Structure 1
Amino acid sequence: MTRPTFNVKIWGIRPNRGARKTTYTVRWVVDGKERQDTFVTRKLADAFRSSLMAAIRDGEAFDADSGLPVSLQRERNKRTWYDHACAFVDMKWPHASGRHRKSIAEALTTLTLALVTTTRGMPDRKQLRTTLYTWSFNKAVRTAEPERSTSRPARWAAANTIDLADLQDPVVVRRALDALTVTSKNEPAAPTTIARKRAVFYNALRYAVELGYLSGNPIDRIQWKTPKNTEEVDRRVVVNPKQARSLLAAVRKNSPELEAFFACMYYAALRPAEVLHLRQRNCNLPAADAADQWGELLLTGSTQQVGTAWGDGDGAKEDRALKHRAANATRIVPASPDLVAALRRHLADFGTGPDGRLFVTRTGRFGRPIAGPYSSPVSTNTYSRVWRDARRAALTDAEATSPLARRPYDLRHAAVSLWLNSGVPAPQVAEWAGHSVAVLLRTYAKCIHGQESIARRRIAEGLGAEGLGQEDTDQDEQG
């Protein structure tokens, strides 16, 4: 923060004669503290001293911390949006997951394209967007390939974005926020995408405040609302038990190695990343001859698909903690007899990867088998393709074109909805699903069937009891 003062005294220029050359030092005093700056030529020293004298003549305050006139301090502190965005990426990179890094880069790319000072000489927009996303806002790639800084898109972006100080203008900030509401194809962006990108923008500006480039976060002064985002699950995506079993049967017929994968989502409400992380040692299954017995799954983490450019390892996937949980957090989920049977079939027919992972890649391009040992987790493309085939095989034409179980993740929604509708207390469901109770009820409010009729019956019973009590009182008074 600037501490302005007018207690300033300028001294003369002092030459410093050395063995090879002479330098020149300008000395001045601000608030009783001596300052100095040394220059290689007398002309440069004179110019700097003249700027200090001009500031005094114009009645300009000096910054007591830096010793410079406020205008000069502001000039030296000038930083472009592009430079700050790169610095923000570098600050966040070591502590962010691969998916979060991608999210930051995506948001900063959208914002940077909206915060340019001109479109003159702008490279092809698609090429510029690619350079920003894959190089400028990816610390690992930017460090490994510094020569790309001389490419035309990188040079243009570095030279043609606004200064951070310009973000004090509400019009500029609003322009950036409005850019978050459309996609690269100029279509309306989803509310969740807008909210996510706005959060990145807000944090980037807060970092500018922390570094002293801005006096406050300008977003706080703007009346701009993020479009409402409904967190509620669309009940149209939720399958009933009969439909779920038909879908799992279709998977078993065409891709039996993934039947248990989808069964974990439907019977235990696991997220896909949690299923990919599952290992045999995490499965506490009853004895093979114990029919209709329940087991347990101990969840210890998730396996995220992030792409080779965004993770810290060499692969496209990385193991992380459970969602919104500490690194060593675990979660226990019951395994119903149906899930136990599916897991037993999987272990008997396909085994595990070298590290005990249950669901690993077993085929390569064009479905060709891969020679073991299998170690890489199943890819998103693979299980998504298998799920699309299962929907076509198990659902009617009308159901297949509807939102019903369109994504594998919808099996998790079906599981949580089933638990709630079966009367399992919300705190227990929240614990199994890895939610807070508030998020659980807010997300699945429209998927809880039968509760309305129960509530009406209880209200009617309450009203009936109250009415009966009043009649008895009236009779007593008449008597």
Structure 2
Amino acid sequence: MEDNAGRMDVQFWKIRNRAGRKRPYELRWRVGTTAHSLSFTTKALAQAHQSKLLRAAKDPATEWDPATGEPASWGRAQADWFSHCVTWARAEWDHLAPNSRRSRAERLAEITLLCMLDESAKARRTRPPDAVLREALIKWAFRPGRAETSPDEIASALAWLAAHTRPVASLGDAEHVKEALAKLTKLVNGKPAAHSTLGNRRSALHAALAYAVTRKIIATNPLTGIRLTRRSFADCEVSPVEVPSVEQAERILAQVRDLPAYGSAPNRGPHLYAFFACMFYAGMRPGEVKALRADNCDLPDVGWGTLTLTGSATEAGELWTDDGTLQDQRGLKHRAVKAVRVVPIPPALVGILREHMAAFPPAADGRLFYDGPGQEIIGDRQYRRCWAKARKLALTPSEAASPVAKRPYDLRHANASLQLQAGLDPAEIAKRLGHSIRVLLTTYAHWVDNGRDAANAKMDAVWGRSSGSSIKALTSVNALEIHGPATGQDGETAAA
């Protein structure tokens, strides 16, 4: 209810003294038709709060919070980081893929622990261990609906976080944000964070502050106006010492095929031989191989074939999928849900896949690769364990001690490097691999050296080390001889 001037109708009752109570002085007021009250230890405090409410009521632009009966801006200024992030996680949950949910929860936990906790002596005395706080944040606070059923240790940690994180408004200016960014350059253990880690944290912080702007907790996002040192892409580059040669890759693949039986899956090695071959010969991601079906394969008797990739199965974890399963079945990475990618495959892989389907008939839903009698989607642990065993058996001691081919994903890197060294058009390579040309060149092209010998030969000619060279380096002696007069004027001499 507003008066003729547009102001909200705010009325107060007389402050009353309720003797015998810890906070005896009660301030009572009504905003519109809703009554509210607060208790204070002294009458002066009650009167001071009443004066603040009266000043706010005189401003017709004041937005009132019906739950507290106070200006909404007061509550926003007091909004703590923990509660804000919990609200944000709940609001964004349905719009994110499972792996994105998990990574965002991990980034928010890192930001919280590094720069948003109350560092007062009182807070430190009751602070739970960092490991407990991290688990409480990632697995309980940022997973909507879980906190209500948390065990006592986690519940205590969540309660501490709710009471001891800094106000979001403390990040409302550039100086405080710069301080936070400085802290984010370190890991929790104090060591320097990688450039990619810092970039991911900055991205999460930027999004959290943008949501704070939406909630009107802060007026603008201060992070947009802060320019840092240009981010290095060194962490995005693939090191050549990790990428196996063709001979090394084929040696490990052969060992996978001949891997002795182990555990409860005696045929896991032979079954996964074609799985890893798809990564090496077709440059596929593990999730894309998991989702590969028989009707996606064109495998002619002679020549090249094609694989039509329609989706991916990624292991996100039960906490992050909508149905509580380990795997998330979705479309291709960074593509529309119904997008497909057609990948040409060489005759070698055509033959491997034909032999695989003859030895291991596809699952009921057409998947070429599965695990156990229930034909479940292969877990990351299963194929990584198989790769580690085969790698150890196939490589020499010195090779095994090196970083080469430590991860199955290095097979995809090997495929990309081979395409680049073969001179294929970068646009075609990016299309086959399923990412942008920029990512392709940032990730791989820096160490492709198929032009090194030609460049060295040209420099030998410049330095006069090759016989019959007619190339002369530009010096003060021959500048005029090579390029003519300095200004181009007739009759000009070197002396002039």
Please, what TM-score do these two structures have when normalized by structure 2?
0.77
Q: 2 CA distance for matches of 1:226 and 1:176?
A: 18
Q: If each structure's helix is expressed as a fraction of its own residues, which one has the higher value?
A: 1
Correspondences of 1:14-29 after superposition (within 5 Å): 26=30
Question: What corresponds to 2:22 in structure 1?
Answer: none
CA contact (8 A) 1:430 1:436 kept: yes
C-alpha distance in 1 between matches for 2:247 and 2:385: 22
Whole-angstrom distance in 2 between the partners of 1:26 and 1:314: 47
Q: Do the aligned residues in 1 keep the contact of 2:256 with 2:270 (CA within 8 Å)? A: yes
Residue 136, structure 1, aligned to residue 141, structure 2:
yes
Give, in whole Å, the separation in 2 of the partners of 1:99 and 1:9.
47
Counterpart in the other structure of 1:434? 434
- For the residue of structure 2 that corresponds to 1:187, the secondary structure is coil
Cα gap change, 1:466/1:286 in structure 2, threshold over 3 Å: closer, same or farther? farther
- Alignment of 1:160 with 2:160, yes or no, is no
- Residues 51, 420 of structure 1: alpha-carbon distance in 2 compared, 3 angstrom cutoff: same
1:120 deviates by 2.9
Q: Residues of 2 paired with 1:228 and 1:148: CA distance?
A: 43
Structure 1 residue 55: deviation in Å?
Answer: 6.8
Deviations 1:152-209 (CA, angstroms, capped at 9, x unpaired): 1111111111111122255543443344333344433332222112211110111001
SS of the residue 2:307 aligns to = strand
Equivalent position of 1:207 in the other structure = 211
1: CA distance, partners of 2:231 / 2:347: 43
Deviations 1:234-281 (A, max 9, x none): 111222221111111111110111111110011000011111111111
Q: 1:10 to 1:336 in 2, by over 3 A?
A: closer
1:384-403 alignment to 2 at 5 Å? 384-403=384-403
C-alpha distance 76-278 of structure 1, shift in aligned 2 (>3 A): same
Name stretches of at least 5 consecutive residues in structure 1 with no aligned partner. 1-5, 16-23, 28-35, 363-371, 475-479
Structure 2 residue aligned with 1:267, among 281, 304, 315? 281
Q: Deviations over 1:210-233 (max 9, x none)?
A: 110001113235455586332221
Residue aligned with 1:303, SS: strand
Q: What code does the residue aligned with 2:237 have?
A: E
Equivalent residues of 1:353, 1:373 under 8 A apart: no
How far apart are the structure 2 equivalents of 1:54 and 1:448?
A: 68
Asked whether the equivalents of residues 174 and 224 of structure 1 are also in contact (C-alpha less than 8 Å), the reply is: no
Aligned to 1:66: 63
Secondary structure, counterpart of 1:344 in structure 2: helix
1: CA distance, partners of 2:125 / 2:331: 46
Shift of 1:451: 2.1
Q: Give the distance between the partners of 1:41 and 1:451, measured in 2 at CA.
A: 79
* Equivalent in the alignment of 2:193: 189
**Secondary structure, aligned partner of 2:125:** coil
Q: What are the residue-to-residue correspondences of 1:72-471 with 2, within 5 Å? A: 72-77=71-76, 78-113=78-113, 114-117=115-118, 118-142=123-147, 145=149, 151-168=155-172, 170=174, 172-222=176-226, 224-225=228-229, 228-230=232-234, 231-254=236-259, 255-287=269-301, 290=302, 293-362=303-372, 372-374=373-375, 376-454=376-454
Secondary structure, aligned partner of 1:377: coil
SS in 1 for 2:338: coil
Alpha-carbon contact 1:177-1:198 (below 8 Å) kept? yes
Letter in 1 for 2:134: R
* Partners of 1:432 and 1:304 in 2: CA distance: 20
Q: Is the 8 A contact 2:63 2:71 kept in 1?
A: no
Whole-angstrom distance in 1 between the partners of 2:438 and 2:37: 68
Query: SS of the residue aligned with 1:304?
Result: strand
| Structure-2 change in CA distance of 1:229 and 1:449 (3 Å) | closer
Unpaired runs of 5+ residues, structure 2, are 15-27, 260-268, 463-468, 474-480, 485-496
1:185 to 1:76, Cα distance in 2 relative to 1, 3 A: closer
CA distance in structure 2 between the partners assigned to 1:123 and 1:223 by the alignment: 35
CA-CA distance at 1:147 after TM superposition: 8.0
Aligned residues: 429
Which secondary structure does the structure 1 equivalent of 2:322 belong to? coil
1:39 aligns with 2:35: yes
CA–CA distance in structure 2, aligned partners of residues 198 and 260 of structure 1:
40
Q: CA deviation at 1:60?
A: 10
Identity of aligned residues (%): 34
CA displacement, residues 111-139 of structure 1 (integer Å, 9 cap, x when unaligned): 22231223231122222221111100111
> CA separation in 2, counterparts of 1:39 and 1:427?
67
Q: Please give the secondary structure, in 1, of the residue aligned with 2:192.
A: coil
1:308–1:316 CA contact under 8 A, matched in 2: yes
Distance 1:12 1:263, change over 3 A: closer
Structure 2 equivalent of residue 18 of structure 1 = none
Q: 1:163 to 1:457 in 2, by over 3 A?
A: same
